[in-house]
Amino acid sequence: MRELIPETPHVSTLVFEVPEWPGHLAGQHVDVRLTAEDGYQAQRSYSIASPPEDGAVALTVERLEEGEVSPYLAGEVRQGDQLELRGPIGGYFVWQAGSEPQRPVLLIGGGSGVVPLMAMIRHRHAAGAGTPMRLLYSSRSLEDVIYRAELDRLAGGGLAIVHTLTRSRPPGWTGYARRLDREMLAEVAWPVTLGAAIFICGPTSFVETASAGLVELGYPPESIRTERFGATGGTT
């Protein structure tokens, strides 16, 4: 690992130099495998945050206190440590700047679900693409917004960033201040007729709300790609 970047109180980015990395697409993930001294192993998947144009592989990890792997990755790992990565994996939840350059892209992220979407935003920027892109990004509070400074910097020139803060807001906050709902989707999304490509990533309930809301607003289900996490939560 080359670098550890604290993003928020609960989230860190780990930047790896990966020998013989075959390259990746924005939106893909890797499997991380940890091995304890007695040979016990644990594996988890993490989205890649860095764009294909970067030589390094950046993973942004939210520290889940009840988790087995994330407290180690976002707490124990130090510069110079080696980790086993496998990937890149996944060929569906991906966006390539050159493939449909004029087709608008709507990104909807909840919490650390922003990570694969950030790879797409960075890819758009690094490729110099003018593709219209919007990110609707739900966080608990302003200090929980991952990549906040970089998002502020990249916004403009066809990229719009819309935040909603669900739990606490700083004084003077004028943005959305509630959980994502259909009204918010209707205000942020492009008209259905523009045929946007839509990527949604976040906890299951968030993804269900966002995807069902867009379908009710008339977006074709096949234009909506989803990725969910919350492997230890969920309902039965």
Partner 1 sequence: MAFISRGFKGRRSSAADSSRLPPGQYLATGFPVLSAGPTPHTPLEKWSFTITGEVDQDRTWTWAEFQALPAEDITADIHCVTKWSKLGTRWTGVPVSALLEGVESAADYVTAFSDGGYTTNLPLEDLVDGKAWVAFRYDGQPLDPEHGGPARLLVPHLYLWKSAKWVRGLRLTLDDRPGFWESNGYNMYGDPWREQRYWGD
Applying CB under 8 A, which residues contact partner 1?
Answer: 33-37, 39-45, 68, 72, 76, 81-84, 89-93, 204, 208, 211-212, 214-215, 221-222, 224-226, 228, 230-236
> Shortest distance, CB of residue 232 to partner 1, whole angstroms?
5
- For 80, residues 6+ apart whose C-beta sits below 8 A from its C-beta are 1
> Shortest distance, CB of residue 154 to partner 1, whole angstroms?
27
Nearer to partner 1, 113 or 159 (CB): 113
Nearer to partner 1, 41 or 102 (CB): 41
Token pair belonging to 148: 């906040």
Nearer to partner 1, 78 or 128 (CB): 78
Element (H, E) at 85: strand 84-89
- For residues 215 and 124, the answer to whether their CB atoms sit within 8 Å is no
> Shortest distance, CB of residue 198 to partner 1, whole angstroms?
9
Token pair belonging to 130: 């003018």
> Shortest distance, CB of residue 40 to partner 1, whole angstroms?
5
Nearer to partner 1, 76 or 193 (CB): 76
For 173-208, letters b (16+ CB in 10 Å) and e give: eeebeeebeeebbeebbeeeeeebbbbbbbbbebbe
Nearer to partner 1, 101 or 233 (CB): 233
Query: For the chain, give me the number of helices (H) and strands (E)?
Result: 5, 11
> Shortest distance, CB of residue 229 to partner 1, whole angstroms?
8
